[in-house]
Amino acid sequence: MPLSEFELAVLRARLADAEETLRAIRTGEVDTVMVAGKEGSQVFTLEGAGDAYRVLIESMNEGALTLAADGVILYANHCFARMVNRPLEQVTGSSFYRLLSTADQTALRPRLKRMTKSGAKIQVMLNVVGGAKMPVQISLRLLAKYGSNRATIGMVVTDMTEARRNEEQLRALTHRVVQVQETERGRVALELHDNITQLLCAVLFRSQALADSLSTRDGDAKKEAVTLRGLLGEAADEVERIAQNLRPSILEHLGLGAALRETCNEFAERTGLSVTLTCPALADRLPPDTELALYRILQVALKNVEQHAKARRVTVSLMQAKGFVELVIKDDGIGFEHKAESSKRKGKGGLGLFSMSERAGHVGGAFTLKSAPRRGTEIEVRIPVGPAAAAA
Ligand SMILES: Nc1ncnc2c1ncn2[C@@H]1O[C@H](COP(=O)(O)OP(=O)(O)OP(=O)(O)O)[C@@H](O)[C@H]1O
Ligand SMILES: [Mg+2]
């Protein structure tokens, strides 16, 4: 019996569907197919559908693993086996925890147990055969969850040796720059003091003699000589101020409190900003390195306030508690610029923040910066002193 037009149209549509499915299977767009039958739908998994992913994972330059929630390695790629210097057969089926120190195990365990879809990142040291340790970053992600205590976790392990080395080199370089800066400042201060100030004083003395030798009858000439003498006096004071900032003898002679006060007063006078300093009398002198670090950090922070913050008020506080001394510099300015803008400026960054962090780190301290657009900036430096410093 010939088929009706309608039946032919239905058959043509089913044929087009089937052809589309075959095309998608061939190109790897699908890896499972659901076929509707009389007893409901049946799911068919296509063999080899994961090949493309497997090739990708095996060609990665990072370790890729799947773990059970108890840390047993269900799958690891060859790169990970090479990282830990073990045969792949030994790695698969063993516990990931065995590759970590006890402290790192303690850090990782709760994260694996309470794994969420959004994932987590953690830095640990991986035990490599032969006793070596490799700094790695682990990115974790929940792949599947079966019931309340069974899950499969995906893990990507990135070797951070190179990144750590670069970080250390950068730190050493910054330290060197800060040291050279300090030496150079000392040299310039000495040059200014020994040559320029001496010269200015000689000229000042002569101009004073000139002013004295002229009588009031000389009129304008006498007036000019007196003005000249005044200007030379100001220039000599200014050069002394610069030399003083470059090599703070006040720090050596009168201590940190006086040096911080002098810096704040001079800053407030020059910029017109309101500066409030809270600085209790310190019981003892701090180690010279710590005093110099705090003094220089204040100078750099105030320079940044002047150059970038558009602030009206600055508060500076020095606090000594048991085992540490803390300096906080806070402004009410525009805060750090938006991320997008700051990434545009990347590479053009200055040295100020680096040098503050380096100076704090050099004396065993911590440098923290808190800032948000239009919310001002706060710099906190905490340095251990006394027995705590020795322990640090
Ligand atoms: N108090 C502040 N308020 C707002 N922005 C700040 C403040 N301090 C620093 N910044 C921002 O951080 C950037 C980096 O500061 P940093 O002191 O490291 O470099 P710089 O001041 O640009 O150059 P340099 O200190 O070498 O002269 C600044 O360019 C500025 O955008
Ligand atoms: Mg700066």
pLDDT, residue 96, reads: 95
Q: How far apart are CA 258 and CA 240, in angstroms?
A: 17
Best residue for ligand 1 mutational test, from 178, 304, 354 (most atoms within 8 Å of Cβ): 304
Which residue has the least CA distance to atom 11 on ligand 1? 336
Q: pLDDT at position 37, please?
A: 56
Residue with CA nearest ligand 1 atom 9: 304
302 alpha carbon to ligand 2 midpoint, in Å?
A: 9
pLDDT, tens digit (0-9, with 9 covering 90-100), for 18-35: 777 766 655 555 555 555
Residue 144 one-letter amino acid: A
- What is the per-residue pLDDT for 34? 58
Atom of ligand 1 nearest to the CA of 335: 4
- 304 CA distance to ligand 1 middle (Å): 5
pLDDT of residue 261: 94
307 alpha carbon to ligand 1 midpoint, in Å?
8
Distance, CA of 156 to CA of 137 (rounded, Å): 8
How many CA atoms, within 13 angstroms, populate the side-chain half-sphere of residue 55? 5
Give CA–CA dist 124/283, Å, rounded. 41
Rounded Cα distance between 356 and 353, Å, is 5
Rg over alpha carbons for the chain, rounded to the nearest Å, is: 35
pLDDT over 70 (residue 130): yes
C-alpha 90/C-alpha 84 separation (Å) is 11
Q: What is the pLDDT of residue 158?
A: 95
Query: Which residue has its alpha carbon closest to ligand 1 atom 8?
Result: 304
Which of ligand 1's atoms lies nearest the C-alpha of 355?
Answer: 18
Do residues 198 and 236 make contact, with C-beta atoms less than 8 angstroms apart? Answer: no
pLDDT in tens, 138-149: 999 988 887 766
Q: How far is the CA of 306 from the centre of ligand 1 (A)?
A: 10
What share of the chain has pLDDT > 70, as a percent?
A: 87
Mutate to test the pocket of ligand 1, among 306, 308, 375 (most ligand atoms within 8 A of CB): 308
Average pLDDT over residues 106-127: 87
- Residue 258 Cα, ligand 2 centroid: separation in angstroms? 24
Tell me what the mean pLDDT of segment 44-65 comes to. 74
Q: What is the pLDDT of residue 194?
A: 82
The encoded tokens of residue 310 equal 């558009």
pLDDT at 219 over 90: no
70: its two tokens? 């108890």
Note the pLDDT of residue 312. Answer: 96
Residues with CB under 5 A from ligand 2 (ion): 304, 350, 352
Question: Does position 154 have pLDDT exceeding 80, yes or no?
Answer: yes
The pLDDT score that the predictor gives to residue 53 is 76
pLDDT of residue 250: 83
Separation of CA 6 and ligand 1 centre (Å):
76
Predicted confidence band at 3 (pLDDT cuts at 50, 70, 90)? Answer: confident
Q: What are the Cα distances from residue 118, in Å, to 56, 92, 136, 137, 380?
A: 22, 25, 20, 17, 32
**pLDDT tens, position by position, 62-96:** 999 999 888 999 999 999 999 999 999 999 999 99
Out of 100-104, 108-112, 189-193, 348-352, give the one with best mean pLDDT: 100-104
The whole-number pLDDT of residue 366 equals: 95
User: What is the rounded CA–CA span in Å between residue 353 and residue 375?
Assistant: 18
Alpha carbon nearest to ligand 1 atom 19, residue: 350
pLDDT band at 44, cuts 50/70/90? low
Query: Residue 123: CB partners within 8 Å, gap ≥ 6?
Result: 135, 136, 137, 138, 160
Ligand 2 centre and the CA of 334: distance in Å? Answer: 15
Instruction: Provide the pLDDT for residue 115.
Output: 77
Whole-number pLDDT of residue 50: 63
Average pLDDT, the chain: 85
pLDDT at 384 over 60: yes
The yes-or-no verdict on residue 343 having pLDDT over 60 is no
Residue with CA closest to ligand 1 atom 24: 350
Q: Tell me, in angstroms, the distance from the centre of ligand 2 to residue 282's CA.
A: 29
Q: Which residues line ligand 1 (CB under 6 A)?
A: 304-305, 307-309, 331, 333-337, 349-353, 377
